[in-house]
């Protein structure tokens, strides 16, 4: 297990270098002078232009520039937003809880529905339920997020007026951020009764939209892993022991079927953040996804560069944690040196 | 009252190509404490017969029988719940591949105590104490420390001992061993067989030893059932069967034993077990039988009492009128024709 952990952790280094290279060149791939590009239609006077060139180090050789960039990143300096002049890291940290809140809800939604659906589909293989689950999940998997989000808004917000269209909470409420997670803050730190309900209502549609693809993937993966496991010799042994059907499925089979499913969940984290960018834009969800899209429109390259780097690091870390969890639930890995 | 009574059991699997009859009209009685050997080539229905007794035929298999009872209980009408109280307790089974038959995600101790807690209602502590005892009884060294081991940390032989410990945990009246040694090294094979026979004698449990190895049967069983293509071909006491096989198929299996074949060459029976499409109309063994006649090709012989047991052949080897009858019925097999 120790060797397994060390191998996984050491993989971080090349991944990190990859992400920094990507974000470093991101800003330099833009044709023309980056400072003029950033200034865009706002225009810029030559003296300030020269100053900024120095500040961003565009006058140095490219390798030196990269070295400086890495050194600054390692010190947590991700430079400042061109528009707000606030440090990128601060802006990210202020917005990130909103994105995490949405992502966690989406993955929970996907798990709570996807796992049981996949298990039942495998147990009732070839039944109407099985075909239904597989059909719906195929549709969910190929659903364009933008279109899906608009359909849900039209149906539930416009037609039936059941859910709010945008934002995290009704403007009536002001919640002082304590943890940054509105569900928690409104439930435990707010006097207002309605605040929690409002926060919850605002989460429903974005959660469904963002959770749909992971839900489909998890359901399909769970089903196929369960089908494979249910045909194993040790399931026959469990039956020969006289165990109940529930115990065989929920314990003996599921424990083994979860091993590949956990890997897939890990891979979904990357998909989740990509999806969050679109979902947050559709629902005006004030998270890092919407922030990044706005940075593109405002040509706020430092924000874009820093934001992508930070998101990359987050995805990398989550994948590492999932890998380690995989090692924990798989005794064949846990017990090798 | 016999421990096991099976009458006219058949098991069918619907497949794309039609209905596969894996077991065809098997009848069988087993007394308490009796050791029965079941032999036959691969695909002859040995496992499926015993899985039917255990109630473990996988969907969409169909089980039919005139009678299927264990220890006086009718297994054809028993509820699932009552059946689960029997399986793993009064009747237990061990399988060919010990390593894949144990769950890779749970410790040996968990898998062993699970049975004890379910059937004997023991608490965790008591079950663990009993598990250590059982592991000791099946010859596993330092049993306490093995409780926390996972199957992949043990050898195949050790895993089979764990399977045996699990099977005998609740003192079953019947143990079914489905080729328990096939996947193991030769030296380990002998040890496992010894262990099974010792446990059988100590506990006087019924034992069904499934194997395709006549040698294993000779070492263990009092009575032998020879199966072919889902049917019983011959069923007699082990001594009689080895001294004077009555069915041409039994004789061919015995001739295939290394120590019996002449000139050190391993004799094999030419041809293969009939499958779904090439199931003969008459005697199922007739395409491969050296003594087949026109009659045996068209009329399927019944299982009938013969020489202290049962046999399914028109011309038993010990029948004095055999040659005359074969000649009369138009011989087509190689031996009979010559
Ligand atoms: N689940 C199943 N579905 C379809 N056919 C099956 C199934 N299980 C067994 N059979 C068929 O039933 C026949 C008898 O199988 P069985 O496993 O009883 O043979 P066996 O005598 O135990 O052979 P072996 O020595 O290889 O274990 C085989 O032809 C097999 O293909
Ligand atoms: S009935 Fe005929 S073909 Fe069948 S085993 Fe006997 S001799 Fe052979
Ligand atoms: Mg078998």
Residues B34-52 have pLDDT tens digits of 999 999 988 899 999 999 9
Task: Give domain status of residue B330, yes or no.
Answer: yes
Same domain, A149 and A53: no
For residue A312, tell me if it sits in a domain.
yes
The b-or-e profile of A113-126 (16+ CB within 10 A means b, else e) is ebbebbbbbbbeee
pLDDT over 70 percentage in chain A: 96
A169: phi then psi, degrees, rounded to nearest 5 = -160, 155
**Nearest alpha carbon to residue B130 among B109, B160, B105:** B109
Q: Would residue B106 count as lying in a domain?
A: yes
Please state the domain count of chain B: 2
Question: What residues are paired with B177 via a beta bridge?
Answer: B94, B209
| Residue B332, in any domain of the structure | yes
- For residues A290-319, average pLDDT: 87
DSSP state of B153: G
Q: Is the pLDDT of residue A12 over 80?
A: yes
Element (H, E) at B288: none
Q: Using one digit for the tens of pLDDT, what is the confidence trace for B145-156?
A: 999 999 999 999
Residues of A in contact with B85 (CB under 8 A): 242
Q: What is the mean pLDDT of residues B278-306?
A: 91
Indicate the DSSP class of residue B204. T
Q: Are residues A62 and A134 in the same domain?
A: no
Query: Which residue pairs from A191-195 have beta carbons closer than 8 angstroms and sit at least 24 positions apart in sequence?
Result: A194/A170, A195/A169
Is residue B187 one of the residues assigned to a domain? no
* Average pLDDT taken over every residue of chain B: 90
| pLDDT score of A49 | 79
A206 vs A325 pLDDT, higher one: A206
B87·A234 Cβ contact <8 A: no
Chains A, B: CB contacts within 8 A come to 70
Q: How many CB atoms lie within 10 A of CB A17?
A: 11
DSSP letter, residue A179: S
Ligand 1 atom nearest to CA at B11: 12
Question: From A124, which residue of chain B is nearest by alpha-carbon distance?
Answer: B59
Whether residues A125 and A198 fall in one domain: yes
Window from A39-53, A148-162, B11-25, B158-172 with minimum mean pLDDT: A39-53
CA distance A184 to chain B (A): 36
Mean pLDDT score, B268-289 = 85
Tell me, yes or no, whether B154 lies in a domain: yes
Q: How far apart are the first and last CA of chain B?
A: 48
B254, with CB counted inside 10 A (0-12, 13-18, 19+), is middle
Which residue does chain A place closest to B115, by CA atoms?
A241
Residue with tokens 């808004």, as numbered in its chain:
A153
Residue A52, pLDDT > 80, answer no
Of residues A7 and B293, the one with the higher pLDDT is: B293
Residues 161-180 of B with CB under 8 A from A: 163, 166
CA distance B175 to chain A (A): 11
Answer yes or no: do A59 and A128 share one domain.
no
Nearest atom in ligand 1 to the alpha carbon of residue B227 is: 21
Closest residue by CA, ligand 1 atom 19: B43
What is d(CA B193, CA B37) in angstroms, rounded to the nearest whole number?
Answer: 13
Chain A within 8 Å of B48 (Cβ-Cβ)?
no
A279/A212 same-domain check: yes
- pLDDT band of A180, cuts 50, 70, 90: confident
B28 occurs within a structural domain: no
Predicted pLDDT of residue B209: 95
Per the prediction, chain A carries an average pLDDT of 86
Residue whose tokens read 């929970």: A108
Report percent pLDDT > 90 for chain A: 32
Ligand 1 interacting residues, C-beta cut-off 6 A: B 13, 15, 20, 22, 40, 42-48, 58, 61, 212
Do A112 and A226 share a domain, yes or no?
yes
Q: What predicted TM-score, i.e. pTM, was given to this entire model?
A: 0.85
Cite the DSSP H helix spans in chain A.
2-10, 12-28, 34-39, 46-56, 62-74, 88-123, 128-141, 145-152, 182-188, 193-230, 233-240, 245-247, 254-282, 288-297, 301-329, 331-334
Q: For residue B335, what pLDDT is reported? A: 66
Chain B positions touching A236 (Cβ under 8 A) are 56, 95, 101
Q: What mean pLDDT comes out for the span A166-190?
A: 78
User: Residue A286 burial (CB < 10 Å; 0-12/13-18/19+)?
Assistant: middle
A241 class by beta-carbon count within 10 Å (0-12 exposed, 13-18 middle, 19+ buried) = buried
pLDDT of B178-219, one tens digit each? 999 888 888 888 889 999 999 999 999 999 999 988 888 888
Q: Is B260's pLDDT higher than 70?
A: no
| Residue B324: CB atoms within 10 Å | 11
The rounded distance, in Å, linking the Cα atoms of A202 and A169 is 6
CB-CB under 8 Å, A241 with B166? yes
Shortest Cα–Cα distance, A136 to chain B (Å): 26
Report the nearest atom of ligand 1 relative to the CA of B46.
21
Together in a domain, A163 and A311: yes
Chain B closest-CA separation from residue A255 CA (Å): 7
Q: Give B45-100 as a DSSP string.
A: SHHHHHHHHHT-PPTT-EEE-SEEEETTEETTT--HHHHHHHBTTTEEEE-S-HHH
**A210: nearest Cα among A139, A106, A104:** A106
Q: pLDDT tens digits, residue range A18-49?
A: 888 888 887 777 666 667 776 666 677 788 87
Per-residue pLDDT of A261-296, as tens digits, reads: 988 888 888 888 888 989 999 988 899 999 999 888
Q: Are residues A66 and A129 in the same domain?
A: no
CA distance readout (Å), A84 to A48, A87, A90, A98? 17, 9, 11, 20
Q: CA–CA separation, B269 vs B212, rounded Å?
A: 13
Instruction: Name the residue of B9, B10, B46, B272 whose CB sits within 8 Å of the most ligand 1 atoms, as the mutation to test its pocket.
Output: B46
Helix (H) or strand (E) holding A173: none
Instruction: Tell me the residue range of the domain where A46 lies.
Output: 16-74
Per the structure, the count of domains in chain A is 2
In this structure, what CATH number is given to the domain that contains residue A240?
A: 1.10.3720.10
The confidence score (pLDDT) of residue B221 equals: 92
If DSSP codes are grouped into helix, strand and coil, which group holds residue B287? coil
Q: What is the mean pLDDT of residues A119-143?
A: 92
* For ligand 2, mutation pick of B285, B326, B333 (most atoms within 8 Å of CB): B285
Count how many Cα atoms sit within 13 Å of the Cα of residue B222 in the half-sphere of its side chain.
11
Q: What is the DSSP string of B248-275?
A: HHHHHHHHTSTTTSGGGPPP--SS----
Task: Please check the confidence at residue A337 and state whether its pLDDT lies above 60.
Answer: no
Where is B15: in which H helix or E strand? strand B4-15
Query: Is residue B329 in some structural domain?
Result: yes
Provide long-range contacts, Cβ within 8 A and 24+ apart, for A331-337.
Answer: A331/B104, A331/B105, A331/B150, A331/B152, A332/B104, A332/B150, A332/B152, A333/A1, A333/A4, A334/A1, A335/A1, A335/B150, A335/B152, A335/B153, A336/A1, A336/A3, A336/A4, A337/A1, A337/A2, A337/A3
Of A8, A40, A74, the residue at which a domain comes to its end is A74
Contact B118 A241 (CB under 8 A): yes
Average pLDDT rounded to a whole number, residues A115-128: 94
Examine residue A6 and state whether it is found in any structural domain, yes or no: no
Ligand nearest to the CA of B306: 2
> Best interface-test mutation with B: which of A123, A130, A230, A240 has the largest number of B CBs within 10 A?
A240
Q: How confident is the model at residue A182 (pLDDT cuts 50, 70, 90)?
A: confident
Structure confidence at residue B307 (pLDDT): 86
| Bond before B60 cis per omega within 30 degrees | yes
Condensed to tens digits (0 to 9), the pLDDT of residues A191-249 reads: 777 788 888 888 889 999 999 999 999 999 999 999 999 999 999 999 999 999 999 99
Give residues 131 to 160 of B whose Cβ lies within 8 Å of A. Answer: 150, 152-153
Q: Which-ligand-closest: CA of B315?
A: 2
Ligand positioned closest to the Cα atom of A236: 1
Chain B residue with CA closest to A241: the answer is B88
Last residue of one domain, picked from the residues B143, B169, B195: B169
A52 and A197 together in one domain: no
DSSP lists the bridge partners of residue B96 as none
Please report residues of B whose CB lies closer than 8 A to that of A328: none
Predicted pLDDT at B264: 46
Is residue B29 a part of any domain in this protein? no
Which two tokens mark A49?
């232009």
Check if the beta carbon of residue A318 is closer than 8 Å to that of residue A311: no
> Of A33, A51, A74, at which residue does a domain stop?
A74
Q: Is the pLDDT of residue A336 over 70?
A: no
Question: Would you call A227 an interface residue with chain B, using a CB distance cutoff of 8 Å?
Answer: no
> What pLDDT is attached to residue B78?
94
Q: Which of B114, B175, B192, B121 is nearest to B147 (CA)?
A: B114
Same structural domain, A148 and A251? yes
Q: Are B311 and B304 in contact (CB under 8 A)?
A: yes
Domain ranges, residue B106 = 102-169
ipTM exceeds 0.95, yes or no: no
């Amino acid at each position: 297990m120790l060797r397994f952990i060390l191998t996984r952790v050491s993989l971080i280094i090349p991944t990190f270098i990859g992400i920094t290279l990507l974000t470093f060149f991101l800003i330099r791939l833009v044709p023309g002078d980056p400072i003029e590009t950033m200034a865009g239609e706002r225009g810029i006077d030559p003296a300030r232009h020269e100053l900024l060139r120095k500040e961003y180090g565009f006058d140095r050789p490219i390798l030196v520039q990269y070295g400086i960039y890495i050194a600054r990143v390692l010190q947590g300096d991700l430079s400042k937003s061109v528009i707000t002049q606030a440090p990128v890291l601060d802006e990210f940290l202020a917005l990130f809880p909103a994105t995490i809140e949405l992502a966690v809800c989406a993955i929970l939604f996907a798990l709570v529905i996807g796992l049981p659906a996949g298990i039942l589909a495998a147990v009732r293989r070839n039944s109407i339920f099985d075909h239904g689950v597989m059909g719906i999940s195929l549709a969910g998997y190929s659903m364009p997020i933008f279109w899906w989000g608009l359909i849900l808004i039209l149906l539930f917000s416009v037609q039936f007026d059941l859910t709010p269209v945008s934002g995290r909470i009704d403007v009536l409420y002001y919640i002082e951020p304590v943890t940054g997670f509105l569900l928690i803050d409104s439930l435990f730190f707010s006097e207002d009764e309605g605040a929690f309900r409002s926060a919850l209502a605002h989460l429903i549609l974005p959660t469904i939209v963002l959770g749909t693809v992971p839900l489909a993937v998890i359901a399909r993966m769970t089903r196929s892993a369960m089908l494979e496991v249910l045909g194993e010799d040790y399931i026959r042994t469990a039956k020969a022991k006289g165990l109940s059907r529930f115990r065989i499925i929920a314990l003996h089979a599921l424990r083994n079927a979860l091993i590949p499913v956990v890997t897939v969940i890990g891979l979904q984290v990357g998909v989740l953040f990509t999806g969050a960018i679109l979902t947050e834009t559709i629902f005006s969800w004030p998270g890092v996804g919407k922030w990044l899209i706005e940075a593109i429109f405002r040509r706020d390259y430092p924000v874009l560069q820093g934001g992508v780097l930070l998101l990359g690091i987050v995805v990398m870390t989550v994948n590492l944690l999932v890998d380690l969890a995989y090692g924990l639930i798989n005794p064949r890995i846990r017990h090798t040196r | 009252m016999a421990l096991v009574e099976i009458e006219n059991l058949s098991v069918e699997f619907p497949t794309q190509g039609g209905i596969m009859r894996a077991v065809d009209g098997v009848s069988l009685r087993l007394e308490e404490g009796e050791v029965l050997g079941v032999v036959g080539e691969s695909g002859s229905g040995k496992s499926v017969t015993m899985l039917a007794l255990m109630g473990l035929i996988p969907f969409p298999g169909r089980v039919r029988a005139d009678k299927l009872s264990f220890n006086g209980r009718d297994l054809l009408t028993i509820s699932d719940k009552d059946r689960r109280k029997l399986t793993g307790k009064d009747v237990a089974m061990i399988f060919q591949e010990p390593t894949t038959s144990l769950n890779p995600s749970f410790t040996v101790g968990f898998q062993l105590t699970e049975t004890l807690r379910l059937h004997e209602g023991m608490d965790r502590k008591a079950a663990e104490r009993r598990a250590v005892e059982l592991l000791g009884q099946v010859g596993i060294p330092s049993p306490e420390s093995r409780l926390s081991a996972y199957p992949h940390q043990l050898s195949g032989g050790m895993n089979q001992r764990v399977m045996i410990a699990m099977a005998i945990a609740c003192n079953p009246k019947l143990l079914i061993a489905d080729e328990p040694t096939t996947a193991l090294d030769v030296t380990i094979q002998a040890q496992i067989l010894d262990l099974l026979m010792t446990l059988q004698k100590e506990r006087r449990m019924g034992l069904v030893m499934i194997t395709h190895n006549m040698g294993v049967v000779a070492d263990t069983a009092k009575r032998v059932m020879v199966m072919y293509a889902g049917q019983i071909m011959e069923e007699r006491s082990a001594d009689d069967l080895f001294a004077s096989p009555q069915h041409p198929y039994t004789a061919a299996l015995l001739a295939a034993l290394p120590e019996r074949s002449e000139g050190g060459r391993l004799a094999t029976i030419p041809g293969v077990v009939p499958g779904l499409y090439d199931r003969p109309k008459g005697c199922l063994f007739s395409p491969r039988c050296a003594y087949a006649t026109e009659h045996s090709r068209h009329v399927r012989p019944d299982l009938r009492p013969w020489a202290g047991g049962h046999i399914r052949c028109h011309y038993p080897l010990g029948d004095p009128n055999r040659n005359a009858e074969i000649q009369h019925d138009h011989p087509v097999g190689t031996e009979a024709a010559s």
